[in-house]
Amino acid sequence: MTYIVKPVNHHPNLEKNKLGLTRRDYEGTISTLCAGCGHDSISAAVIEACYDLSISSDQIAKLSGIGCSSKSPSYFLNQAHGFNSVHGRMPSVATGANLGNKDLLYLGVSGDGDTAAIGIGQFMHAARRQLNITYIVENNGTYGLTKGQFSATNDQGSKSKYGEENVFAPIDLPTMAIQLGAGFVGRSFSGDKQQLVPLLKAAMKFEGFSLIDIISPCVTFNNHLGSTKSFDHIREHNESVSSLDFVPIGKEIKTTYKEGTKVDVPLHDGAMLTLEKLSKKYNPLDKGQAIQSLNEAEKNGKVLTGLLFINPEVKDHAEILNISDTPLNQLAEKELCPGAKKLAKINASLN
Amino acid sequence: MTYIVKPVNHHPNLEKNKLGLTRRDYEGTISTLCAGCGHDSISAAVIEACYDLSISSDQIAKLSGIGCSSKSPSYFLNQAHGFNSVHGRMPSVATGANLGNKDLLYLGVSGDGDTAAIGIGQFMHAARRQLNITYIVENNGTYGLTKGQFSATNDQGSKSKYGEENVFAPIDLPTMAIQLGAGFVGRSFSGDKQQLVPLLKAAMKFEGFSLIDIISPCVTFNNHLGSTKSFDHIREHNESVSSLDFVPIGKEIKTTYKEGTKVDVPLHDGAMLTLEKLSKKYNPLDKGQAIQSLNEAEKNGKVLTGLLFINPEVKDHAEILNISDTPLNQLAEKELCPGAKKLAKINASLN
Amino acid sequence: MNKISSINEFVIKFANVNGSGSASANQMFAKGIFRSGIPVSPKNIFPSNIQGLPTWFEIRASEKGYLGRKAGIDFMVAMNPQSYTQDVAEINPGGYLLYDSSWKRDFKREDINIIEVPLTTLCVDEFNNPKTRLLFKNLVYIGALSYLMNINKDIFIKLIEEQFKGKEKLIAPNVQALEIGFKYAKKHLVDACKIKVNQANLTDGMILTNGNNAGGLGCVYGGATVCTWYPITPSTSLAESYKKYCDQLRVDENTGKNKFAFVQAEDELASIGMAIGANWNGARAFTATSGPGISLMTEFIGLAYFAEIPVVIFNIQRGGPSTGMPTRTQQSDILSCAYASHGDTKHVILIPSDPKECFEFSADSFDISDRLQTPIFVLSDLDIGMNDWTCPEFEWDDNRKFDRGKVLSKDDLDSMESWGRYLDVDGDGIPFRTLPGTHPEKGAYFTRGSSHDEYARYIEDGEVNARNLSRILKKFEGAYKFLPKPIFKQETNASSNGLIYFGSTEAAMQESLDQLSVSGFPIDAMRIRSFPFGPEVWNFIDQHETIFLVEQNRDAQMKTLIVSEGNVNPEKFISILCFDGSPITANFISESISDVLLNKNTSQPAEEIK
Amino acid sequence: MNKISSINEFVIKFANVNGSGSASANQMFAKGIFRSGIPVSPKNIFPSNIQGLPTWFEIRASEKGYLGRKAGIDFMVAMNPQSYTQDVAEINPGGYLLYDSSWKRDFKREDINIIEVPLTTLCVDEFNNPKTRLLFKNLVYIGALSYLMNINKDIFIKLIEEQFKGKEKLIAPNVQALEIGFKYAKKHLVDACKIKVNQANLTDGMILTNGNNAGGLGCVYGGATVCTWYPITPSTSLAESYKKYCDQLRVDENTGKNKFAFVQAEDELASIGMAIGANWNGARAFTATSGPGISLMTEFIGLAYFAEIPVVIFNIQRGGPSTGMPTRTQQSDILSCAYASHGDTKHVILIPSDPKECFEFSADSFDISDRLQTPIFVLSDLDIGMNDWTCPEFEWDDNRKFDRGKVLSKDDLDSMESWGRYLDVDGDGIPFRTLPGTHPEKGAYFTRGSSHDEYARYIEDGEVNARNLSRILKKFEGAYKFLPKPIFKQETNASSNGLIYFGSTEAAMQESLDQLSVSGFPIDAMRIRSFPFGPEVWNFIDQHETIFLVEQNRDAQMKTLIVSEGNVNPEKFISILCFDGSPITANFISESISDVLLNKNTSQPAEEIK
Ligand SMILES: Cc1ncc(C[n+]2csc(CCOP(=O)(O)OP(=O)(O)O)c2C)c(N)n1
Ligand SMILES: Cc1ncc(C[n+]2csc(CCOP(=O)(O)OP(=O)(O)O)c2C)c(N)n1
Ligand code: SF4
Ligand code: SF4
Ligand SMILES: [Mg+2]
Ligand SMILES: [Mg+2]
């Protein structure tokens, strides 16, 4: 038995959010990941973001595939609805869940093996459909749970723990997602809470497919010298394209960003995303430029992070499909079953 | 019984290639596709290309998935080795076949349903591995064999035969392939033999992953007004990026292309690809530019054709894996089985 | 020359070229007979091809209501020179051959009646456009048949009017074509045919439809709001039927918005994944597929089984294995459904035998799936799914309510001390579930395909896991209570020989039983309609010495299921197997059985008939 | 205080924290006993986790050669406070508990012997680096055990030297840690333990290895040149073993090039597709996977079956269904392998019971697969695959030649008039094949999963297809001739009770049979080693009145296979089922059987024991 519920001791002085909840209320069970695993920092960031946004956990569905990363949803938001599905197929389960109830907030958690190898097809089609989800890839360039094989996001020439060299070029998930029309694409680093939390908040508020590719070093199998997904390597090669502020609806925008470098992006529910471009060349609203920059950065061994692309005009899957305002799982029986009278007409059409 | 072998009547005056074979020798069984189907023109182009290159059919493996397009390999190269596998999984079968014998010429034939939907994962990973194959997508924007559903390459807003509008954005396979590092990427039109045949020849000579996305209208289900994959639509929106000449090894290059617009690309076996850029901006050796141009063209409703991208420096999968020069299926038993003596040593290491 | 003479009992077959528009004309002809009050069973025998290959359309008309396929053709309409040889050979002595005598031909059979109609010539004379001319040719032969068989021409005119509702321009030329044929026959072919249709009223209260149309409609009535699928013959039309009826019945009149979702997935792994996701959220969702799709869904099916998520899967079986014969019928996915997925798994299966049952089982399947919290297969086949059947009208009781099974509401949760997702509270192995978003604080749990305890917590304790697996088995063992019971052809048993069959072989069965009775071999028959089997099935087996088991597969898969699930001695069973892709015939069944029974009195029984 | 006293017969268990480096130390301890000449069976009981959760390592040492798991621990090395309670409870009365007494603890059991070793304190005193200190702690307890159990310390020193070959710097500190423990015990724990190891020679000619290591090596010897796989516990190490041995044995000395290909595919659909493609081309190729992978391969398996392409699939079974218990053992994929894929399919299965057979069956599987032109499953499990077993040395006959089956050479083709890919020339249902590129003009054919005739031509003629399917069945029915025959524990039958078992339950079986014999229930036993079953299996079943069938699954899957394939009366069988994920024990088997046999004489037999 490995499930241990942390006693939620509400310290009277703990900070509370709009719902009157403390960060503790957003925690999950105790992590069984390796001490120091990047994935745990991401769980912490998710907790932080949900706390900040004052989201009620019961309105959140957290879905995942299989892998160390895919275990993470157990380690945050105890009161959210969890679904640890099968390897690489979370996108389809999430798509179905969203069809059933478009009003929940969907957090998808996956790994680089789970998404870029076995799951790449479902990932691409979910992006293409503009599934309304915050799709988090906890990207460590390796298969943690099966003990350190190369994944498809591992960089060419990067070395395994056992000294072997990866001979294949990586699949860059953000580039793929942007190319496929995903509405919101970002990258971050599990070690950079500053950047990650606002990115997560914005993604959760975005209505459409939001990918956040988070480099999340595997301390056990891919954090050595020669690995390009180690803490050290990422810290050295990280290049942030923008600084991001998420401003909820009703709040005043008071960033100190310099005019000219500042971009304001209104989100669907009226909240605002303000960002300061750190590189003048970079425009996160331009698909072509985003892809170009990502490819160039890769060539130069840089890892671009931040909000890489956003298209605030997309419609999400439910909207594209013209699904009724009442979630499908809440339609009353009489709205669904046409009854005997209508059936008589149908019979008449068949004789 | 639908298999009818055409009598191969060698007309004494039929033109012969270097192997002394006529075009007839490269034919297949009589097509059972609809009269006028674009796929049949592609079969004709394949026949032409193989005839021109004087390839012996027995050194060719032709593999496919499932669909009208995937039936095509029956309709060309009777003496080649055919494998009509399962839906969307041709790339893996071809990868295995290539591992078994890297010296055959691999022709992969697929459809847009077969590749862009169920098969997108295998397609991407084969491209990423730089599998040495000429991968032909007979792209009609629809599921021909299952009677006209939209495929994932169908353009947003394009209409079905029954008037329904496609609500999703297309997956552009060439862009994907270029992004993934495929060495050779082209697009053509089944109605343009002039462009298609040299492209096929170059692809077959190229050692690495060669994609040719061929728009191939489905006369039965997707050739109406409102479709963006109809003969008429493609003829109107086709924009060729280059004119291509394939010059086999030893032949003199005598194109009439203007200097400055001309690019010569040496292929692995010494043959030469000469191409005239029709658009000054376009450089098929530049990945970033290729993707950019493709995206722009799409935005403008144009269909770029020709050789879209080439990287003559790639190593193919077998080379990357450092596979022995003798194909694996031809290694002698004594090279494979280490024998009793070596086993004694292994036993010793285990006690 | 001998002429087959028959009223309201015959088989007519049309040999055409695929893609020439013949199917809809032939369908119309079948409907003409149906509207004359005679039960019909049209069968479309089509290639896995879009245009050009031979295709056939076989119609059996039978006032006795024998609607199984019957070998030997009474009337052949041979429109495809490519298949002349084969088509002519199939005609019964004394039967008829109608062909396009624009090109005369000697068919080298003295024992059949050749009926010549110069179809092409007639069309060329009347129609200009060569493409429509091709289509009208079909109507011309329908017109000729209308005269020859004495089917009221007005019925066809009405059918044409109905068909071209909205495209009224097309009515006149179609009727014209019909008339051309009729007139030609009236002038040149008086008394050419002694097979006649006499108006009757045997189809009152009946409809003519196919199982996929019915199945799609059943999903609408069953409250399915989500259909996620991937195209594959012969299941595609079930999904399309659902969409068609939803477009009619489930679009909000005020907002124009859809009270359903219809998603063509990228493949079958995704389509089942989506259906599972939607059901997890409490929306009724289904997918429809065929053999290859089932194989691809295998991993996900195991997840739904073990995590106990309802999901309805239609498998419209076709000829296997592998791509096999996509346009032919079989019942060969029984084991691959019953035991789908690795590990210890067993799945509930419903087996309809005609469109009426497709409608009913389809609607029922959602209740059963919710009740049992497990995947449900509705196992139909190409013959039921894609061919039209004469069957009773669909019925619906407006007092019927959805059975959502053990789902806890917000109030339930508020009134509960504690709750465990996988606790067996009622002793029936069925736990209670909650739907996401029901309650702000209670009822959240973690769904997973890895081992878990009664509270849905991840565990690696083998005993806890074994306990959970045993409870799931218990649930399965009680499942028969919620499933359609078998149907018996007899009120009480009258023979020591029993016959078990299921699904589409129903069509041939009454005829076969009558034949056997006539031959002095009356036999008791039971049609299985679901798996796992209930006591009625075991009793029937107990009560008979010998059991014939009729299946349309090679490996006697249903026998495996019966024998292994019921600890029944397999020696009792004699399998009658037909797996060539054509629907089984009454004659084949009767002959197989009577051969065995004759032998039984004399020598050793033949063990298996294929 | 009572002290268990035993020589060369005991169970010792180590309770550790996952990821703390304990596994390799414990493995070394097992090997120490093995090198002392005593058969051992170490079992690593690990969580599906990388670091931090409890993990156990159980070693049974038995000079009698009883190597099955045994419940009840004689000596517990409790290194994990998290699992103290559970660990202490498992110790037999009179048994021993060794723990890290740096933190003293009262274990509240009066009936066991507590052995205190202040491991942490000892390490802190001697080693500076806290990380290596953690690792050395393991060596310290090995040292203490070496003294306590009287295992020659030099054996461990040698093992350390072997382990750190190439990293010689590490030898000294490891030996130092060992010595610390040894010295501490010598000083403080004289006579603390009466369980001893006496040097013997019972492991001469034996090796200590696991089934996956052996299986990978078998692939090298069987001539496999292509391994395409996707990581999944517990099969990963088989692929890795193949790679390891290829790196040693299959790299061309001159060119440095590989005479093999090793491809980590993107998923299991791709890995099996690649293996099929390579085999189609005539290269011997295999894939290795576990339950979820098998489910994903289901569609492709049907293709290989129907298109008759050889391919070897290793299924190292784990706890199902779904993700289930990835790090526990079961035999629950029998049906999902035997009948994998939609349509009528049956597959050949080889079932090894120890690493030696893993090696042999692995090499054989390629011959069998080529011979039969069909997929072959090698069905192992986590217990065999990942745990080390004491087994006889591997053997190889240098005169042995690959059997490539009916493959036509260029000369064959030149000398033939005609050839049909799927023609049954020899009457055994096995056709002749060609490999692409063999001949410039002859022997090309079209491989497909759709229906085809004897010449590999696409057809839709149902009878031709049925003929082909029947031939494939005939091939299958004759397959037993090429498969490993069952093994009998007795020369001739001596009882009316028979026992059937297979695979990893072998480990517990001899002990159980001996126990039963002693209890007055001698019983005949047969170990099945392959499917389909041959006459030996049917005879054994015929010759016994009652048959106990031991399986590690819930649903008695092997029974289903036997009953349905052999038309055997299921009532004859009494299933003994263990499906909690732990290897079955001799006691469980013996008790279950003797309970039934005792009851038999008095009352009704219990039908199933779980
Ligand atoms: C169908 C299937 N194949 C293989 C596995 C084994 N498996 C479990 S996790 C995993 C890889 C996980 O890698 P990634 O998604 O990168 O997660 P990480 O552990 O690195 O966070 C694999 C291959 C499985 N569970 N299911
Ligand atoms: C696993 C599986 N799912 C579905 C099908 C049914 N199917 C056959 S062909 C096809 C689509 C073919 O579309 P495409 O590849 O575009 O070929 P086209 O016919 O348009 O040339 C589908 C879905 C199948 N054969 N196998
Ligand atoms: S193995 Fe790697 S990814 Fe998995 S928990 Fe440990 S550090 Fe994290
Ligand atoms: S249906 Fe379309 S794709 Fe298929 S053969 Fe006909 S025209 Fe070609
Ligand atoms: Mg990873
Ligand atoms: Mg297509």
- Give tens-digit pLDDT for D407-416: 999 999 999 9
Tell which of C392, C419, C450 closes a domain.
Answer: C392
In this structure, is residue A11 part of a structural domain? no
d(CA A8, CA A22): 10
**Any C CB within 8 A of A328 CB:** yes
Q: Are residues C251 and C295 in the same domain?
A: yes
| Residue spans of alpha helices (H) in chain A | 38-53, 68-71, 90-100, 112-116, 120-129, 173-179, 193-205, 231-237, 287-299, 317-320, 333-336, 339-349
> A250-259, B60-69, B158-167, D255-264: lowest mean pLDDT where?
A250-259
In this structure, is residue B18 part of a structural domain? no
Nearest in space to A223 (alpha carbons), one of A186, A190, A192, A193: A190
**pLDDT confidence tier of residue D365, bands split at 50, 70 and 90:** very high
Q: What does pTM read for this prediction?
A: 0.97
CA of B216 to the centre of ligand 6 (A): 8
In the chain, the amino acid numbered D262 is F
Burial class (CB in 10 A: 0-12, 13-18, 19+), B41: buried
Over residues C496-504, the mean pLDDT reads 98
Compare D357 and B259 and report the one with higher pLDDT: D357
Q: Which residues of C touch D232 (CB under 8 A)?
A: none
CA angle at C560 for the pair C556 and C566, rounded to the nearest 5°: 140
Tell me the β-bridge partners of D500.
Answer: D526, D549
In this structure, is residue D87 part of a structural domain? yes
d(CA B215, CA C148): 49
Q: Are residues C500 and C371 in the same domain?
A: no
**Any D CB within 8 A of A141 CB:** no
In this structure, is residue D306 part of a structural domain? yes
In this structure, is residue C456 part of a structural domain? no
The reported pLDDT for the residue numbered B281 is 76
Q: Are residues C501 and C356 in the same domain?
A: no
**pLDDT confidence tier of residue A6, bands split at 50, 70 and 90:** very low
For residue C548, give the CATH number of its domain: 3.40.50.920
Q: Which chains touch B (3 or more CB pairs under 8 A)?
A: A, C, D
The reported pLDDT for the residue numbered A4 is 35
d(CA B227, CA B221): 10
In this structure, is residue C446 part of a structural domain? no
Nearest in space to C297 (alpha carbons), one of C307, C311, C284: C311
Instruction: State the smallest CA–CA distance between residue A3 and chain B in angstroms.
Output: 35
Q: Which of B41, B145, B214 to mutate for ligand 2's pocket (most ligand atoms within 8 Å of CB)?
A: B145
Q: Which chains touch C (3 or more CB pairs under 8 A)?
A: A, B, D
In this structure, is residue B241 part of a structural domain? yes
Q: Are residues D358 and D494 in the same domain?
A: no
**Any C CB within 8 A of A324 CB:** yes
Tell which of C392, C422, C450 closes a domain.
Answer: C392
Residues C130-151 have pLDDT tens digits of: 878 888 999 999 999 999 999 9
CB contact (8 A) between residue A86 and residue D323: yes
Domain that holds residue A155: 23-349
In this structure, is residue A252 part of a structural domain? yes
Helix (H, G, I), strand (E, B) or coil at D487: strand
Is residue B7 predicted with pLDDT exceeding 70? no
Which residue's CA is the nearest one to ligand 3's atom 8? A37
Q: Are residues D103 and D135 in the same domain?
A: yes
Residues D557-571 have pLDDT tens digits of: 999 999 999 989 999
d(CA A163, CA C323): 44
Tell which of C167, C196, C225 closes a domain.
Answer: C196
Split into its structural domains, chain C has a count of 3
How would you write D250-295 as a 3-class SS string? CECCCCCCECCEEEECCCHHHHHHHHHHHHHCCCCEEEEECHHHHH
Instruction: Assess whether the previous peptide bond of D234 is cis (omega < 30° from 0).
Output: yes
Residues D453-486 have pLDDT tens digits of: 999 999 999 999 999 999 999 999 999 999 999 9
Q: Calculate what percentage of chain B has a pLDDT beyond 70.
A: 94
Token code pair at residue B191: 């109605």
The reported pLDDT for the residue numbered C601 is 61
Q: Are residues C158 and C28 in the same domain?
A: yes
Q: Report CA D357 to chain centroid distance, whole Å.
A: 9
Over residues C78-96, the mean pLDDT reads 97
CA angle at C131 for the pair C125 and C133, rounded to the nearest 5°: 30
In this structure, is residue B5 part of a structural domain? no
Is residue D609 predicted with pLDDT exceeding 60? no
Q: Are residues C214 and C158 in the same domain?
A: no
Q: Are residues C184 and C38 in the same domain?
A: yes
The reported pLDDT for the residue numbered D255 is 97
Token code pair at residue C157: 């005119």
**Which value does ipTM take for this structure?**
0.97
- DSSP-derived letter for residue B272 is E
Domain that holds residue C583: 487-601
CA of D234 to the centre of ligand 1 (A): 12
For residue C352, give the CATH number of its domain: 3.40.50.970
Residues C54-76 have pLDDT tens digits of: 999 999 999 999 999 999 999 99
Nearest in space to D476 (alpha carbons), one of D421, D535, D532: D532
d(CA C452, CA C467): 10
d(CA A185, CA A177): 7
In the chain, the amino acid numbered B190 is S
Over residues C223-230, the mean pLDDT reads 98
Token code pair at residue C105: 């031909």
Q: Are residues C290 and C320 in the same domain?
A: yes
**pLDDT confidence tier of residue D61, bands split at 50, 70 and 90:** very high
Tell me the β-bridge partners of C525.
Answer: C499
The reported pLDDT for the residue numbered C49 is 87
In this structure, is residue C470 part of a structural domain? no
Which residue's CA is the nearest one to ligand 4's atom 2? B218
Helix (H) or strand (E) holding A149: strand A149-150
In this structure, is residue C64 part of a structural domain? yes
Shortest-distance atom of ligand 2 to CA B65: 15
Q: Are residues C105 and C216 in the same domain?
A: no
B42 within ligand 4 shell (Cβ under 6 A)? no
For residue B285, give the CATH number of its domain: 3.40.50.970
Over residues C475-487, the mean pLDDT reads 98
Residue-level length of chain A: 351
Q: Are residues D247 and D345 in the same domain?
A: yes
d(CA A105, CA A53): 12
What does DSSP say about strands D348-350 and D530-531: parallel, antiparallel, or unpaired? antiparallel
Q: Best interface-test mutation with A: which of B131, B153, B179 has the largest number of A CBs within 10 A?
A: B179
Is residue A3 predicted with pLDDT exceeding 70? no
Nearest to C51 among B84, B149, B220 (CB): B220
Q: Which residues of A touch D49 (CB under 8 A)?
A: 2, 32
**Any A CB within 8 A of C398 CB:** yes
d(CA C588, CA C585): 5
User: Average model confidence (pLDDT) for chain D?
Assistant: 96
Task: Please report, for residues A77, C421, D479, the alpha-carbon distance to residue C244 in angstroms, rounded to integers and kept in the order given.
Answer: 41, 37, 50
In this structure, is residue C458 part of a structural domain? no
DSSP string, B179-244: HTT-SEEEEEETT-HHHHHHHHHHHHHSSSEEEEEEE---TTTS-STT-TTSHHHHHHHEEE-EEE
In this structure, is residue B16 part of a structural domain? no
Residues A26-80 have pLDDT tens digits of: 999 999 999 999 999 999 999 999 999 999 999 999 999 999 999 999 999 999 9
In this structure, is residue A100 part of a structural domain? yes
**Any D CB within 8 A of B125 CB:** yes
The reported pLDDT for the residue numbered D390 is 98
Q: Calculate what percentage of chain D has a pLDDT beyond 70.
A: 98
Ligand 5 is an ion; its neighbours by CB within 5 Å are A 111-113, 140
**pLDDT confidence tier of residue A242, bands split at 50, 70 and 90:** confident
In this structure, is residue B10 part of a structural domain? no
Q: Are residues C246 and C106 in the same domain?
A: no
The reported pLDDT for the residue numbered B271 is 82
CB contact (8 A) between residue D436 and residue B121: no
DSSP string, C334-373: HHHHHT-SSSS---EEE---SHHHHHHHHHHHHHHHHHHT
User: Average model confidence (pLDDT) for chain B?
Assistant: 92
d(CA C407, CA C395): 28
Residue C496 CB: number of other CB atoms within 10 A? Answer: 11
d(CA B263, CA B285): 9
Q: Residues C268, C289: contact at Cβ < 8 Å?
A: yes
In this structure, is residue D72 part of a structural domain? yes
**pLDDT confidence tier of residue D218, bands split at 50, 70 and 90:** very high
N- to C-terminal Cα separation, chain B: 62
Residues B171-205 have pLDDT tens digits of: 999 999 999 999 999 999 999 999 999 999 999 99
Helix (H, G, I), strand (E, B) or coil at A158: coil
d(CA D592, CA D586): 10
Nearest in space to B291 (alpha carbons), one of B172, B183, B189: B172
d(CA C302, CA C448): 11
Instruction: Assess whether the previous peptide bond of D392 is cis (omega < 30° from 0).
Output: no
For residue C86, give the CATH number of its domain: 3.40.920.10
d(CA C374, CA B91): 35
In the chain, the amino acid numbered C50 is I
Nearest in space to A182 (alpha carbons), one of A145, A252, A224, A130: A130
The reported pLDDT for the residue numbered D608 is 52
Split into its structural domains, chain A has a count of 1
CB contact (8 A) between residue A175 and residue B171: no
The reported pLDDT for the residue numbered D602 is 58
DSSP string, B157-194: TPBPTTSPBP-SPPP-HHHHHHHTT-SEEEEEETT-HH
Question: Considering only residues 83 to 122 of chain B, which have any Cβ-Cβ distance to chain D shorter than 8 Å?
Answer: 83-86, 89, 91-101, 103-104, 121-122
